[in-house]
A and B are shown apart, each in its own frame.
Chain A
Amino acid sequence: DGGITQSPKYLFRKEGQNVTLSCEQNLNHDAMYWYRQDPGQGLRLIYYSQIVNDFQKGDIAEGYSVSREKKESFPLTVTSAQKNPTAFYLCASSNRGGRETQYFGPGTRLLVL
């Protein structure tokens, strides 16, 4: 999982602002995922992508958007429509279209000013 990087480590968002979280992997994995982690609620799936130029909504996609223009990159935008964005955001990737183990990046902690 050392081949998955996320930036920044901490991110501050102002009211009405869109912010983008970066996720890059050099593992040549097909599938990439975004999760949100809140205390006591485990990990919840926001969006996932099994191949380039294709992605699917997860369980809590409202207020978020993604793109998958390159195999190694899967950025997540937290839009102003997401009213409670404070959370720990984790990106993951896996091989073989998602049939294999998911490995996680180090995470980005998003805070609202």
Chain B
Amino acid sequence: GENVEQHPSTLSVQEGDSAVIKCTYSDSASNYFPWYKQELGKRPQLIIDIRSNVGEKKDQRIAVTLNKTAKHFSLHITETQPEDSAVYFCAASPNAGGTSYGKLTFGQGTILTVHP
């Protein structure tokens, strides 16, 4: 099955700096890659996602890049703010038929701390 590795496990930056979180996946059939943000004690919330037919996607200060050949994808947050502090999870899902459809495999999470 799919295996997703996420790095780093913790990331500390100063306000205004950029933050980058990287994930690698093992299943070449995966073609959907969402990123979730989870604040302490709250539910994960989708912040951006990318499908394998594109290499990059941006939404204001957040961007995701995908390298299908190398099987890795990254989250980029620019001009970080203290409210960006949270746990970030990457995930991967195959576009296979049958029972594998829609099954997300998550990375272990990155604790991002943005210092004012």
Say yes or no: A98 contacts B103, CB within 8 Å.
yes
Known: A90-B43, A103-B46. A42 touches B108 (CB 8 A): yes
Q: How many A-B residue pairs have CB under 8 A?
A: 57
Residue in B1, B46, B105, B107 whose beta carbon sits within 8 Å of that of A101 in the complex = B46
Report how far A97 CA is from B99 CA in the complex, Å. Answer: 10
Say yes or no: B45 contacts A1, CB within 8 Å.
yes
Say yes or no: B89 contacts A99, CB within 8 Å.
no
- Give the residue among B1, B44, B49, B109 with the most A Cβ atoms within 10 A: B44
When distances are taken between beta carbons in the complex, the residues of chain B under 8 Å from A67 are none
- Provide the B46-71 mask, 1 if CB < 8 A to any CB of A, else 0: 10010000000000000000000000
- Provide the A23-52 mask, 1 if CB < 8 A to any CB of B, else 0: 000000001010100001111110010100
Number of contacting residues on B, CB 8 A?
22
Report how far A40 CA is from B108 CA in the complex, Å. Answer: 6
Say yes or no: A97 contacts B34, CB within 8 Å.
no
Within 8 A of B (CB), among A58-73: 58-59
Known: A90-B43, A104-B44. A97 touches B101 (CB 8 A): yes
Report which B residues bind A (CB closer than 8 A): 1, 6, 9, 34, 36, 42-46, 49, 89, 99, 101-109
Report which A residues bind B (CB closer than 8 A): 1, 31, 33, 35, 40-45, 48, 50, 56, 58-59, 90, 94, 97-99, 101-107
Q: Provide 30 A-B residue pairs closer than 8 Å at the C-beta atoms, listed in order of the A residue.
A: A1-B43, A1-B45, A31-B102, A35-B106, A40-B9, A40-B109, A41-B108, A42-B6, A42-B106, A42-B108, A43-B44, A44-B106, A45-B103, A50-B101, A50-B102, A58-B103, A90-B43, A90-B44, A97-B102, A98-B102, A98-B103, A99-B101, A101-B49, A102-B34, A102-B104, A104-B43, A104-B45, A105-B43, A106-B43, A107-B42
